[in-house]
């Protein structure tokens, strides 16, 4: 799918974005939405620069204003126990076909279940691309809304997470996912 472009050559909806930071049990959670209400980036930080750093420079909005984002209700619902609301929030991600498929597969992982990086690679129809599957998770800017936290190492350990293993552990516990080693 090719996005429509503005007269400046930038993708539509990326010239201005809205940023909101919410208080959550896992700490401050910031959401950056484009002008069409799609989450560009999100994570457990109150530092706008850290959040913007999750986006390639060419995909960063020209202006960021603070305000209410549409995704705030889904974040509140998630922390109130209605975790699947977050999967309904529209997101905007930029990547190759492989990355796009990986992010699509992540959104299909239901709460309460996990995949290994090997299983994610297989779901992406690239069973030998385990490192690419790990990169899909590492480059996932709209955390929570694209649940890369639901991917574990093949031995059941947590692996990495851009927002820290304590947050990943907390999210999995909130979603009632048992992991063999919480390290």
Sequence length of the chain is 183
Cβ neighbours of 13 (radius 10 Å): 19
Burial letters for 145-159: b for 16+ Cβ neighbours within 10 Å, e otherwise?
bbbbbbbbbeeeebb
CA distance 42 to 52: 9
Taking every pair of Cα atoms in the chain, the longest distance, rounded to a whole number of angstroms, is 52
Of residues 148, 152, 162, 167, which has the active-site annotation? 148
Nearest CA among 38, 39, 94, 32 for reference residue 64: 32
Could you confirm whether 148 is annotated as catalytic? yes
* Cβ–Cβ under 8 Å, residues 14 and 7: no
Catalytic residues: 148
């Amino acid at each position: 799918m090719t996005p429509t472009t503005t007269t400046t050559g930038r993708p539509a909806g990326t010239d201005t974005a809205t940023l909101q930071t919410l208080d959550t049990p896992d700490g401050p959670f910031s959401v950056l939405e484009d002008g069409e209400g799609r989450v560009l980036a999100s994570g457990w930080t109150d530092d706008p620069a850290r959040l913007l750093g999750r986006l390639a420079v060419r995909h960063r909005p020209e202006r960021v204003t603070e305000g209410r984002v549409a995704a705030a209700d889904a974040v509140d619902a998630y922390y109130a126990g209605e975790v699947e609301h977050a999967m309904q929030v529209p997101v905007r991600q930029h990547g190759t076909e492989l990355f796009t498929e990986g992010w699509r597969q992540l959104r299909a992982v239901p709460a309460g279940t996990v995949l290994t990086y090997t299983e994610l690679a297989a779901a992406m129809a690239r069973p030998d691309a385990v490192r690419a599957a790990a990169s899909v998770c590492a480059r996932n800017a709209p955390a929570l809304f694209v649940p890369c936290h639901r991917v574990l190492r093949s031995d059941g350990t947590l692996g990495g997470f851009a927002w820290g293993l304590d947050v990943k552990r907390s999210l999995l516990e909130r979603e009632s996912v048992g992991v063999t080693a919480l390290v």
